[in-house]
């Protein structure tokens, strides 16, 4: 096995952790939730991380490819949660509230632990995209354009995404206040209202609870559709380079790391 160093362009790293998932030697860690670091003593030069990185920012050339695969851990099967989530929400919209787990957990890891453990290990959607695009071969496996992992696009998309999220919260409030009636529809790509009334069974549940569920399911469905589109066009987990949760938690980790370094 001929080996050479893999080098991560730290300033461009989105700390998604996709490289960690394929490394057969556990040679990669995401430092402080900000950038990936490769332990050169453990690296065997297989090149899997170079191929996998959705932003294509790991450099390295290898004369031979190692066929070793990383030993699977229990959390590598969390993609099942994504499928179960959309299936349950199809039949009963109240299950859409379960998506809050994917919203709150990344924030808790970033705020209290200063890391991106959720993105790096437990993200069910990232795993599902990796599975469909990678194992099932539905991705073109091309590098995404540079603008897609630029700070301008990532933070711009974060702002847009949260603006849309607050519109959803506002609609929930209007239903709560009784000035708007419950809309039994799912809004796809913030534009198309798709009737979803069969999934509403909630006469005993307050209408605003169901409104929030319809809104949150719309958010989850929209982001998954975007993830699938970029999976088809680029690398399997290209969504990870501009996922608003990933961008936001990396920003939190950066602030925490700056504070830590200031007081040391
Ligand atoms: S080249 Fe292979 S062993 Fe080295 S860090 Fe990348 S995936 Fe791990
Ligand atoms: S962008 Fe993701 S896959 Fe690429 S080096 Fe950074 S953490 Fe690893």
Contact at 8 Å (CB) between 134 and 236? yes
Q: Whose CA is nearest to atom 8 of ligand 2?
A: 19
Burial grade of 165 (CB within 10 A; 0-12, 13-18, 19 or more): middle
Ligand 1 geometric centre to CA of 141 (Å):
18
pLDDT of amino acid 264: 67
Confidence of residue 261 (pLDDT cuts 50, 70, 90): confident
pLDDT of amino acid 196: 97
Q: What is the pLDDT of residues 186-214, one digit of tens each?
A: 999 999 999 999 999 977 899 999 999 99
Ligand 2 geometric centre to CA of 190 (Å):
29
Rounded to an integer, what distance in angstroms lies between the CA atom of residue 68 and that of residue 117? 24
Closest-approaching ligand to the CA atom of 3:
1
Confidence of residue 220 (pLDDT cuts 50, 70, 90): very high
Reduced to 3 states, what is the DSSP secondary structure of residue 193?
strand
Strand spans (E) along 67-191: 185-188
Ligand 1 geometric centre to CA of 5 (Å):
9
Mean pLDDT, rounded, for 213-221: 98
Q: Is the pLDDT of residue 158 over 70?
A: yes
For ligand 2, whether the C-beta of 19 sits within 6 Å is yes
The share of the chain scoring above pLDDT 70, in percent, equals 95
pLDDT of amino acid 204: 85
Q: Is the pLDDT of residue 229 over 80?
A: yes
Identify which of 4, 18, 22, 27 to mutate to test ligand 1's pocket (most ligand atoms within 8 A of the CB): 27
Confidence of residue 234 (pLDDT cuts 50, 70, 90): very high
Contact at 8 Å (CB) between 33 and 115? yes
Diameter of the chain by CA atoms? 69
Q: Whose CA is nearest to atom 3 of ligand 2?
A: 53
Reduced to 3 states, what is the DSSP secondary structure of residue 84?
helix
List the chain domain ranges. Answer: 7-59, 76-262
Assigned fold of 7-59: Alpha-Beta Plaits (3.30.70)
pLDDT of amino acid 62: 65
For ligand 2, whether the C-beta of 13 sits within 6 Å is yes
Ligand 2 atom nearest to CA at 49? 3
Ligand 2 atom nearest to CA at 18? 3
Q: What is the pLDDT of residues 120-132, one digit of tens each?
A: 999 999 999 999 9
pLDDT of amino acid 164: 97
DSSP string, 198-216: GG---TTS-HHHHHHHHHH
Ligand 2 atom nearest to CA at 12? 1
pLDDT of amino acid 66: 60
261 phi and psi angles, rounded to 5 deg = -65, -30
Contact at 8 Å (CB) between 19 and 28? yes
Between 61 and 199, whose confidence is greater?
A: 199
pLDDT of amino acid 84: 98
Query: In which element (H, E) is residue 58 found?
Result: strand 58-59
Q: Is the pLDDT of residue 1 over 60?
A: no
Query: pTM to 2 decimals?
Result: 0.92
């Amino acid at each position: 096995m001929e080996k050479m160093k893999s080098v991560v362009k730290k300033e461009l790293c989105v700390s998604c952790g996709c490289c960690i998932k394929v490394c057969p030697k556990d040679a990669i860690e995401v430092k402080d939730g900000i950038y990936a670091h490769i332990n050169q003593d453990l690296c065997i030069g297989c090149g899997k991380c170079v191929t996998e990185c959705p932003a294509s920012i790991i450099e390295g050339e290898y004369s031979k490819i190692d066929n070793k695969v990383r030993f699977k851990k229990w959390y590598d099967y969390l993609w099942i949660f994504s499928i179960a989530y959309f299936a349950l929400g199809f039949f009963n919209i109240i299950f859409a509230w379960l998506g809050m787990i994917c919203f709150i957990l990344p924030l808790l890891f970033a705020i209290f632990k200063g890391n991106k453990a959720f993105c790096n290990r437990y993200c069910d959607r990232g795993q599902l995209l990796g599975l469909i695009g990678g194992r099932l071969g539905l991705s073109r496996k091309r590098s995404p354009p540079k603008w897609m992992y630029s700070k301008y696009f990532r933070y711009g998309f974060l702002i847009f995404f949260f603006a849309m999220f607050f519109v959803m919260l506002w609609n929930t409030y209007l239903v709560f206040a009784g000035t708007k009636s419950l809309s039994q529809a799912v809004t796809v790509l913030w534009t198309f209202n798709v009737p979803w009334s069969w999934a509403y069974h909630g006469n005993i549940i307050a209408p605003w609870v169901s409104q929030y569920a319809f809104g949150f399911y719309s958010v989850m469905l929209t982001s998954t559709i975007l993830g699938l589109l970029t999976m088809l066009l680029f690398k399997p987990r290209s969504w990870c380079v501009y996922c608003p949760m990933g961008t936001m938690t990396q920003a939190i980790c950066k602030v925490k790391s700056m504070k830590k370094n200031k007081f040391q």
